């Protein structure tokens, strides 16, 4: 999974890119984000791994609830249970996950890039 970054040029423009992209500003400066070592972003990699785990656990939770409801009460119970469990998961568990594991912008790493003229 690519690491999203924000490049701020000296002219004041902001550019969204992924780590490894070349960003060209309208003022003529170019920023090569491939020069940034990925070892500078352990927090970001850790967060991405936790987010993937969270999604996988959510899917397993939904499938298990649907199968249990289907086995004990039939098709219509599963058809009602799965959306209700999904709403619970994404309204409550997602918010808890976001508060606990998503870093605030002040905790994210910053790196200075040297601009080159085109």
Instruction: Give the pLDDT score at 112.
Output: 64
Cβ contact 19:36 at 8 Å: yes
Rounded average pLDDT over 14-35: 81
For 27-55, how does the pLDDT look when each residue is reduced to its tens digit (9 = 90+)? 888 888 777 766 667 777 777 788 888 88
Residue 34: closest CA among 17, 25, 21: 21
Q: Whole-angstrom Cα distance, residue 113 to residue 102?
A: 25
Residue 113 pLDDT more than 80? no
- Structure-block tokens of residue 104: 């605030």
Specify the higher pLDDT residue, 11 or 78.
Answer: 78
For 49-92, how does the pLDDT look when each residue is reduced to its tens digit (9 = 90+)? 888 888 888 899 999 999 999 999 999 999 999 999 999 988 88
Instruction: Using a cut of 0.85, tell me whether the model's pTM lies above it.
Output: no
Specify the higher pLDDT residue, 73 or 19.
Answer: 73
Confidence tier at 15 by pLDDT (50, 70, 90): confident
């Amino acid at each position: 999974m690519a690491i999203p970054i924000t490049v701020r040029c000296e002219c004041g423009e902001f550019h969204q890119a992924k780590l490894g992209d070349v960003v060209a500003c309208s003022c003529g400066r170019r920023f090569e984000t491939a020069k940034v070592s990925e070892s500078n972003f352990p927090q970001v990699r850790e967060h991405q791994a936790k987010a993937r785990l969270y999604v996988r656990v959510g899917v397993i939770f939904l499938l298990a609830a649907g199968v249990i409801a289907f086995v004990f009460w039939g098709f219509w119970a599963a058809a009602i249970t799965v959306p209700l469990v999904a709403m619970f998961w994404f309204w409550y568990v997602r918010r808890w996950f976001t508060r606990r594991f998503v870093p605030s912008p002040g905790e994210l790493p910053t790196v200075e890039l040297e601009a080159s003229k085109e």
